[in-house]
Amino acid sequence: MTDSALPFITADQVRERVSMADAVAGLDAALQDGFDPAGSLARANLPLSRGSLLLMPAEAGDVVGVKIASVAPDNPAVGLPKIQGAYLLMSATTLAPLAVLDGAALTEIRTPALSALGVKYLARSDRPLRVALFGTGPQAYNHIAAIAAVREVGRIDVIGRTLEKAAALAERLVTDGYDAHASLDATEAVPAADLVQCCTSASEPLFDGLLVRDDAVVVAMGSHEPDVRELDAGLVGRSTVYVEDVDTALREAGDVVMAIGEGTMAVSELKTLRSLVVDGPVVSAGPALYKTTGMGWEDLVVAGLAYRD
């Protein structure tokens, strides 16, 4: 490192330099080129009086890095982001800092790109996807852009805690050119969906898993704690379940952890994202379920793209 100022890549610069399609392709290429998430460094979740700090280190190729993200659940009530943070990118050879990036923008891109990577390999491509979208926040909105980077999107049913919030997101998506509709009723939207996308902070199942068709895909990204979940154990048990990494899922993916605890599935049944990308999906009779928690290597891939561009 020299005496010159360390470059700072702003949120706007991250968004300008890395499109959703770029991020999906970067994650895909990392796995295709031999990176194995099973060897990744574990995330540290440090409790604070008003929230928590997430420390997410990673090493891959010629770079290493760490994201420090703050999670403040009360912030939205006072008009501040729930998640904030920064990313430090370093040389893998010398460990010299290369750049600091806006951490929130990095998360804003890599999380939906990670979901879209699963959609790319699991979802049908013979017609526009009908989507049941649970959630009304920034991640729900960004997930549609990411999904649209890998599949044609048809009707979107936005399902929120309040019709007002669902309508606001649906209107925003309509402005973007999508066929979006607000709803509070999962009993109609879920059975009709080719893709059920869950982007919430729910701690209990969002809907009855029996509503999901056997040929549908479910992506759940909202929880990363072992005692909270968006999906019921019945749905997990009748699905072919893909996770980023088995050990990480057993630490952090409540949807999986609680289903195993309730006896609807076994650890040995879990499939990995790497096997999905390298070997393709497993043919099965029930739904395909892709449960993500977020891992440091994904931030590193997107940070590397932003830095090099």
Residue 120 domain-assigned (yes or no)? yes
* 134 shares a domain with 233: yes
Residue 277 domain-assigned (yes or no)? yes
Look at the chain and report how many structural domains it folds into.
2
Write the CATH number for 181.
Answer: 3.40.50.720
* 286 shares a domain with 165: yes
Residue 163, judged by CB atoms within 10 A of its CB (0-12, 13-18, 19+), counts as: middle
* 191 shares a domain with 57: no
Residue 3 domain-assigned (yes or no)? no
Determine contact, residues 128/152, Cβ cutoff 8 Å: yes
* 49 shares a domain with 172: no
Token digits of residue 287: 């739904």
- Give the global pTM: 0.94
Number of Cβ within a 10 Å radius of residue 216: 25
* 231 shares a domain with 278: yes
DSSP type of residue 136: -
pLDDT in tens, the chain (309 residues): 445 689 999 999 999 999 999 999 999 999 999 999 999 998 898 999 999 999 999 998 899 999 999 989 899 889 988 889 999 999 999 999 999 999 999 999 999 999 999 999 999 999 999 999 999 999 999 999 999 999 999 999 999 999 999 999 999 999 999 999 999 889 999 999 999 999 998 999 999 999 999 999 999 998 788 999 999 999 999 999 999 999 999 999 999 999 999 999 999 999 999 999 999 999 888 999 999 999 999 999 999 999 986
Give me the pLDDT at residue 22, please: 97
* 264 shares a domain with 154: yes
Give me the pLDDT at residue 3, please: 54
* 251 shares a domain with 116: yes
* 234 shares a domain with 129: yes
* 88 shares a domain with 216: no
Residue 30 domain-assigned (yes or no)? yes
* 252 shares a domain with 116: yes
Residue 165 domain-assigned (yes or no)? yes
* 274 shares a domain with 303: no
Give me the pLDDT at residue 309, please: 64
Residue 1 domain-assigned (yes or no)? no
Taking only Cα atoms into account, the Rg of the chain, rounded to an integer number of angstroms, comes to 19
* 138 shares a domain with 84: no
Residue 145 domain-assigned (yes or no)? yes
Write the CATH number for 73.
Answer: 3.30.1780.10
Residue 215 structural domain: 111-295
Amino acid in position 152: E
Residue 2 domain-assigned (yes or no)? no
**What long-range pairs does 28-36 form, CB within 8 A, spacing at least 24?**
28/117, 28/120, 28/277, 30/60, 30/297, 30/301, 31/273, 31/274, 31/277, 31/278, 32/277, 32/278, 35/60, 35/61, 35/274, 35/297, 36/274
